[in-house]
Each structure stands twice: as C-alpha cells, then as structure tokens.
Chain A
C-alpha cells in the first residue's frame, strides 16, 4: 500500500480513469499548465494534451453547461470549479439543469458528469474561500453528492463518480488535501456510492459527520476515550443519496446521537440526520439529538479570531460529546 494525501488520491483517481477511458476529460480554470490551483491535475496537460485537459475561460456557468452537453453526448467530463465559493454562477446549470435531465426526459437522456470542487474552511479563506455549500446540492434530488475525507475514500469514490451514469457533485475539503494522509491500495478498487462508513466503533454515542469534521470528531473521540466515553464516528461519505441505515443502526446500539458539520447550522445536513433519527429511532434514544455546526452568519470571516469562532474544533466537539455523555 502507498501512503498519500487526499489531493494525490484525487489526482490519481482522475489519472487512472483518463488512461482507462478515452471519454473522460477534465475542464476548468487553470487546470492545464498550472495543473490546477491545488495541483489536482498536475502533469495532466503533458500526458493527455489540450484536447482532454481544457483550460476554460473564467465562466462557471459555461463550465458546468458545457460539461452537461458533452456528457449528454456520450463523454465523461470532469469539471473543476476552482473553489466551491465560485460555483454560484453555475448553480442554474448544476442544480437547475443537470439534476433534472434524466427525470425530465423520462430516462431518454442522462448526464454523467462530475463536478469537483474544493470547499470548506479553516484555511484563512475569508468569506469567499471557506464556504461549505453541500446542502444546496444535497437538497436536490437527481444529484449525487459525495464528500470523502480520507485518501482511500477519495480515490475509490471519485472513480465511482466518474463511472456513474448520473451527475455527481464531488466535494473535496481543502484542509484535508495536504493534511490528511493515508494508505491507498496499489491495485484498482471502486467504492460504492451511497454507503457510509464507521470510522471508529464505540458504544456510548453515535457521532455522524463528513469531511474535515470527521477527523476532528475522531480526535475528540480519542480524548473522550481517555475519560471512559466511547463514541462511534460515522462518516457519511455520500451526502445524497444518504445512507440512513448505517447511522440508524448505530444509534439503535448507542442510544445517543450527535451530528457534526461545518456549515451554518440552520436547515443544514444536521436537520435531515436529526429528523431521520427522531423519526426512525425515537424509542432507542436516551437524549435529544445534538446538532453541532457553524453559526448562522453569512460566511466564515477572515480575521483569525472570527475564523476560530466559526470553525468547530476537536475541543469544541469533545465538550459537546461530554455534555451528551452526561445527559
């Protein structure tokens, strides 16, 4: 097994799929000579040429729309949005259009594109380089939304996304890119879309999360373990369609549940998870379901104290876990 970063896993997933399938191509801003602003497509231009590695004009609506058109016409485009914060001009094409092509044509057409985008905070990105906007996509039936947090998951799920016959929004947490390293098998593997993963087993509470927050939850869980509390950490991995069974089954065993997400709290992923638990595991619960999330301000602010205030941390999560354990 090779040890690599999340970023390298993403790069290798695309590289392998492009070598395997000539229909796969990448497009986006700065992905050619620059190799992408995060270097996710480093070396691609040299290997595949300008036909399959398209540096686009700075125009996100067209990036998404062109990817849709090419996908409908038999290609497998991977469109990169430079930062999730800049996907808004493309929302009409992704949320409004891509999601409805199969449904709206009664299955006559489909759009197998992947839209990759780095998201998330804790990188001194301020209002426009920190956003977590996953829920906007996850709310829209017809879109698959994937948000891995380890190199292993990122590679296996991105390959699955490229092969999927439906539009996929693939969310990569910027902070995990270089921070998180992990083992990745040498041999080819594909991970199933729509399957959560228990990243840590525990019997005292279930903590449901995804993205960078999974790592913070794991760190918090290790702290709590020293205090005699064992938290089970469920990584959703796919946000839509969401795997309800895995976390429900976990909650039935632990009887306590907490959802941890970086986004603003209100109307967030936590609302869906908490409501599902309340509805389907009510009789197993020993405590109200806890939502731990970002505050309801328009975005993460730039000054270090503001960012620290907005972001969750292993310490904040550990404190919430302690409260829940004591309930």
Chain B
C-alpha cells in the first residue's frame, strides 16, 4: 500500500488531488471510501424514514459508482454542478458531510443547502458551485446551459455538469437545453443517469429508440452510453469530455446505465410495477460489490482496509445521526427571510 492511501475521512476530495486521465491507486481507494460512506448514509436515511423521522428519502443506491466518477473527473474547486434529487454520492464527493446531509433529511437547523426549506439535498452549497433549485424535473437543464454560457462569455475554462435521469430526458427543457448548448458549443457535460425507470414508467414507454445518447447527434455533439457501474470507465469518459469542454470543444452527452436499487422514493413500492426477474437482475448490478472485487483483484483493497473503510463510515454516520437528531428545528423567524435581497 502506498503511504498516502488513507485520506482523512473528514476532508473533502475537492482540489485535493491532481487530476489526470488515469486514476491512481489512492484515487481508487478514495472513490471506494466515498461510495461506502454514501451507501452507509443512504441506508441510514431509509431507516430514519421508516422510523418516521425523515419525511422523504430518494436513494442513490446503485448510482454511486457513476456519481463518484463524475466528480473525480471534474474539479469541484471551479466547475459547476447542477444536480437532481438522487445525488447523495455526488454531494459527499464534493465535500458535504454526513451531518450536513442528515440535517437535511431531518430538516434541522444548520442544514447548509436551503436552511431546512427544501427537501433533503436541495438548495445550493456555499463552498462548491453545486445546486439543485427545484423538484420540477428537467428545469436544471436549460439553467445549466446558462451557467456554461456565462463561463464562455467571460472566457473562464470551467465545466458545467448537469445531472438528470432518463425521465427528465423527455422534458422539452432537455431538448431546448441541448439544442442551445450545441449551437453555442458550450462547455457542458450532460450527465444522464439512466436507471431505466421514471418512477414506474419503463424506458420502452419513455422513448422509441435504444438510448438517450443517440440524441446527441441531433444536436451536433458527441454522445456515449456507458456502464454506470464501472467507475473507471465513467471517469475516463467524463475526464475526456471535461478536457474537451475546457478547450472549446463544446458539449458531450454522457449516459450512464445504472440501477435504481430501491423504490423511487420512500413513498413508492416498486413491486407494483417491476417484475421479480427485473428486480433480480437489478440486484446483480450493484456497483459496490463489483468495484470492491475489482479493487481486491488489483491488490488495492485488502480485508483490513475494507473493514477500516466500512467501520469508519459507520462511525461517521452514527455520530452524525446522533448530532442531527439532537439538533433543533430551524427558528420560525427565518421563514420570511430571503424572499428578496436583504439590504
């Protein structure tokens, strides 16, 4: 093991590493660590929901590998991230802590993204340009084109990554955003997390073609479909797309095929619309065991490191849960603030 293979759990990954087209062993281990933390936290918030403490939960379980790869391949210290609601791993990867996020799920005082006004994981970060204004699916896509346009106007070599599901790809906003981005060769990555369902609606009822990436041709930029359970493949594709975007090469549509391992949200029951066979196949595409096996095979992960990572994740989540549960709700006097600029 290289000596620098155990980054402090509390440090954000942002700006901490030299980004290159190839991932180092510590990078891979750190990716695995964040995925494990995300999974542990995700399981916790479902538990809190079932205990009646968290009103709503949308799991990122199954999407972790793609999300961590996308953040690792870009630069949270300067790039822009317009996420949607299924991005727990992305949020941890850019530096939010389990406590920040748990305060969101329990809508407690000190929740950093919306002050407890929004659903968990919605709002905007302070230290990283990551935001999720709305629950209205698809609205972030044209907004992201605008973010990228502003960078282009000012000549700043930053990349905008806009995250969306297969469902969102049906919105007119998606078409309009991609069309504009293509025309203006904007420095943007359209990152589509295709989990084959928009709540209950399967791909076959969402589109008459095989994949979403095929649409990129109609907008004049490249599109690729990747296995979203393979973080290395996703990393390489996003890295290349980001480099091209920074160098004036314009947009890329990256579609990652992932699995939604849980029902749409804690209010959903996917056995109403997913067959037993479908659910069985879904479970076989869990990115965590796959990545773990890959790391073990490459000699990057051994039992001791594995156990340390998971027990550390559990400890962090336990401590954060305790602290978030003990925290008060936001003060009611905050409620009328920030409707307009405050002088």
Contact = CB atoms under 8 A, between A and B. Distances in A.
Q: Does B bind A?
A: yes
Interface of A: 29-30, 32-35, 37, 55-62, 85-86, 88-89, 124, 126-129, 295-298, 301-306, 309-310
Contacts of B118: 126-128, 301-302
Contacts, number: 119
A89 B199 contact: no
Interface residues of B, number: 40
A59 B201 contact: no
Interface stretch (B9-17, B132-140, B153-161, B238-246): B132-140
A304 B108 CA distance: 9
Given A124-B55, A309-B332, A29 B199 contact: yes
Interface in B280-328: none
Nearest to A124: B55
Contacts of A301: 116-118, 335
Nearest to A88: B136
Interface of B: 55-56, 107-108, 114, 116-119, 122, 134-138, 167-168, 170-173, 198-201, 205-207, 267-268, 272-273, 329-332, 334-336, 339
Contacts of A296: 339
Contact of A128 (B108, B134, B267, B332): B134
A303 B200 contact: no
A126 B136 contact: no
A29 B201 contact: yes
Contacts of B336: 295, 297
A119 to B, nearest CB: 14
Contacts of B171: 58-60, 89
A89 B108 CA distance: 31
A33 B200 contact: yes
A124 B332 CA distance: 16
A60 B114 CA distance: 27
Given A30-B201, A303-B107, A297 B206 contact: no
Contact of A57 (B107, B117, B205): B205
Given A35-B272, A57-B170, A57-B206, A302 B200 contact: no
Nearest to B206: A57
Given A56-B205, A128-B118, 7 more contacts: A58-B167, A59-B172, A86-B135, A297-B339, A303-B117, A305-B331, A305-B332
